[in-house]
Amino acid sequence: MEQSARANSTKLVALCEPGDVGELALIKSLLDGNGILYVVQHEHIGALYPGVSLLCSRVMVAEGEKQRAEILLSRLALQIREATEETE
Domains identified in the chain and CATH numbers:
2-87 (3.30.70.790)
pLDDT at 3: 40
Close Cβ partners of 4 (under 8 Å, ≥ 6 residues apart): none
What pLDDT score was predicted for residue 52?
60
Give 14 or 3, the one with higher predicted confidence: 14
CB-based contacts of 45, cutoff 8 Å, min separation 6:
55, 56, 57
Q: What is the pLDDT of residues 24-71, one digit of tens each?
A: 889 999 999 999 999 998 877 666 666 665 567 899 999 999 999 999
State whether residue 22 is helix, strand or coil. helix
Given a cut of 90, whether residue 18 has pLDDT beyond it is: no
pLDDT confidence of residue 54: 56
Cα-based torsion angle of the residue sequence 60, 61, 67, 72 in order, rounded to the nearest 10 degrees: -80
Distance, CA of 79 to CA of 83 (rounded, Å): 6
Question: Which one is predicted more confidently, 84 or 49?
Answer: 49
pLDDT of residue 10: 82
